[in-house]
Structure 1
Amino acid sequence: MSGRLWSGVVAVLLVVAPLDSAGMLEIYFIDVEGGQATLIATPGGETMLVDAGYAGRGMFQSKAGDLRDARDAQRIAATARDAGVKRIDYLLVTHFHQDHDGGVPELAQLIPIGTFIDHGTIPEEAEKTVAGALEAFAAYSAVRGRGRHLEPRPGDRLPLKGVDAVVVSSGGATIARSLPAAGEPNRRCSPSELAAAESVENPRSTGLLLQFGRFRFLDLGDLTGRPLYNLVCPSNHIGPVDVYLVAHHGGRDAADSATLTAFRPRAAILNNGAVKGGDPEMFTLLRSVPTTEVWQLHRAERRDAANFPDDQIANLDESTAHGIKVTAYRDGSFLVRNARTGLVRSFPAR
């Protein structure tokens, strides 16, 4: 794997957004093979990483060890170098599963981390649904203890410069009041939520609505079950967003039509892996919304996969580690770039 994950010739569709480098928000969706690692560089000069992928060679059973084998930490560090990032000011760990917190101990040896943000602790019963979760949390917690720690509640704002970052879910709770420009009844609500495939930690995910001017980005981690339902039913507490990182890697338990009706994303990003996430139910739902353009970190390899066009897929197999980058502007316009092809799609201000 090349360390230069974002190089390549750029092909541009439509009209490129304003070239104001001092006033843009950059979001890097890093390939960690079906985990999450999302690097955010704000116009205020600060950085936040949401999750850090797996430990070691990238499996749930992997443990931190030789940094040469730290697949995801090395990919994150390479992306940070390409972005000119020398420090992670804030690390938000959405929840305590190994595909989200596993890479933290190794990453902390590669790049300084200032403040850790999470929902605090992990219930002991989490081990029954995901083996190794408690051990991974202990390793993460040891690193967290060496820095500043924030434990925000729904409705709290994170102290990120240049953007408005509102926590919309955490620890199983969600915001009680609708955000501005939201609150309308959601006619697509079912009588009850889709059941969460993993019922302990995923529904406790810390979700974030990040706004820069008129641009809005939503990242809910692996939020599923009742908390995901509560964000959009019976009323839409979030409102329309420009970019939505699809919950739970595009798993079937996040494929509730009420969410897309509420969020109405112009671009949806799937941080799926070749054999993880990107379930057929989610593909079917996303295809039912013609106003949403879908981008995948990986082509899904299952037989019943209905992948989107290759131009919108960063990795066609597991031999590469390309990412997807969003560059957003204050007026609400933004670009989506596929690092594999160099293709750039421009979205004008609404």
Structure 2
Amino acid sequence: MRTVLVSVLASACLAAPALAQNRAAKPLEIYVVDVEGGNATLFVTPSGETVLIDTGNGGNQAARDAARIVEAAKDAGVTRIDHLIITHWHGDHFGGLQEVARQLPIAHYYDHGANVQATPATDDFFKTVYEPLTAKAMHTVVKPGDTIPVKDLKWTVVASAGNVLMKNLPGAGRPNQYCAESKPDAGDPTENAQSVSSYITFGKFRVVHMGDLTYNKELDLMCPNNRLGAADLFIVSHHGQAISNSPALVHALHPRAAIINNGTRKGGQPDAMKVLFSSPGLEDLWQMHFSLLSGQEYTVPGAFIANQIDQPDTAIPIGQWNPPAQGQQAPPAPVHNGKAYYFKITAQQDGTFTVTNMRNNFSKTYRPGTANATR
């Protein structure tokens, strides 16, 4: 009996390091989901723990966007959401929640707290959807410096409720030379400036997701010293709008790749695209859609665009889109309610990561210490 017991213990001791090594070899997976100019980003850790940031649009688009999120989750083998972060109280970020929650149980909700931009639709959402859901789950209001307990990741909240992190992350804190070219604007009283923003590390791999945090809050966080340091992957702020994405943030992060979750006529604005394309060290920019706002002038090659539109393809104008004169109505934006594709990122702890466009299976791998810019 003693011989058998010793044998079993020895086998267990040998198996434990093997299991740990196997888990360490598994990648972090990130799914950036097309929600037509909203936001939905799913993280799946090697342990199988999940974080979803935002749930897409509401109204008559809620079922469509939720279905796309659930499809990505199923592709990832996910049957529940362990952590849901609602970055702020705008409908393109929380609108699909009820539909998502019907199909994927959610264990823990995180947000910045009270809404500063009340509307009847948002008030109704709180009363009929959010409060009943959070009453049956865990709920945390986060502040800068908080960490969200996710296995295999270090998840740090760097902005929330209009406040920003006031201490440097490990290895950060150098003077930010890009503050000089990033002048404060008039300020933003909306929910965008309240966004929950995150800095996430997986070994040596670093990714930043700022929600819709706007220009002045970016400067509060990044100036005069860069409190975040660098990032490998930047999920572009605010769908690629110019009221976010300051050089003080984007250039100082020095990302190797960036992904814009934009719509055909939402985000991807020329001034934001200029900042992204001129970012030191940026190898590639990936877009969820082409952008009529920037035209061919700033749109990336087709291999880096995840989605098309429902109508027959038409040529994208070379120059940027000029909005109609005040008082005139713009024509409807191109519609995309059909098959949608997401970007999938697989990241290793050594900092290597691969971005795959699921529409065409085009992928590119970014390795530490190498550069291979497509632009």
Q: Which amino acid aligns with 2:64?
A: R
In structure 2, which of residues 91, 99, 104 is the aligned counterpart of residue 106 of structure 1?
A: 99
Tell me what 2:312 maps to. none
Whether 2:302 is the aligned partner of 1:310: answer yes
Distance 2:199 2:155 in 1: 6
Q: Which amino acid aligns with 1:133?
A: T
| TM-score for both structures, normalised by structure 2 | 0.80
Deviation of 1:121 after TM superposition, in Å, equals 1.6
Deviation of 1:285 after TM superposition, in Å, equals 1.4
Deviation of 1:262 after TM superposition, in Å, equals 1.3
Which structure would you say has the larger Rg?
2
Q: Deviations over 1:67-87 (max 9, x none)?
A: xxx111111111111110011
Q: Deviations over 1:287-323 (max 9, x none)?
A: 2136211001111123646211111110132244111
Question: RMSD in angstroms over aligned alpha carbons?
Answer: 1.9
Check whether the contact 1:44–1:163 (CA below 8 A) recurs between aligned residues: no
Check whether the contact 1:255–1:281 (CA below 8 A) recurs between aligned residues: no
Tell me what 1:155 maps to. 145
* Correspondence list, 1:178-189, <5 A: 178-189=168-179
Check whether the contact 2:193–2:214 (CA below 8 A) recurs between aligned residues: yes
Distance 1:203 1:75 in 2: 27
Partner SS for 2:288: strand
Distance 2:34 2:226 in 1: 31
Distance 1:97 1:282 in 2: 21
Check whether the contact 1:310–1:316 (CA below 8 A) recurs between aligned residues: no
Deviation of 1:229 after TM superposition, in Å, equals 1.2
- Which protein is richer in strand relative to its size? 1
Distance 1:22 1:71 in 2: 35
Check whether the contact 2:115–2:191 (CA below 8 A) recurs between aligned residues: yes
Whether 2:143 is the aligned partner of 1:136: answer no
Distance 2:238 2:363 in 1: 25
Deviation of 1:137 after TM superposition, in Å, equals 3.7
Q: Sequence identity of aligned pairs in percent?
A: 40
* Correspondence list, 1:1-350, <5 A: 22-58=25-61, 70-123=63-116, 125-127=117-119, 132-138=121-127, 139-190=129-180, 192-195=183-186, 199-289=189-279, 291-292=281-282, 293-302=284-293, 304=295, 306-317=298-309, 318=336, 319-350=338-369
With over 3 angstroms needed to count, the CA separation of the structure-2 counterparts of 1:21 and 1:301, relative to structure 1, is: farther
Unaligned runs of 5+ in 2: 1-21, 310-335, 370-375
Q: Which amino acid aligns with 2:302?
A: D
With over 3 angstroms needed to count, the CA separation of the structure-2 counterparts of 1:21 and 1:71, relative to structure 1, is: farther
Number of corresponding residues: 317
Check whether the contact 1:270–1:278 (CA below 8 A) recurs between aligned residues: yes
Q: Deviations over 1:98-127 (max 9, x none)?
A: 01111111111111110001112212x443
Unaligned runs of 5+ in 1: 1-18, 59-63, 65-69
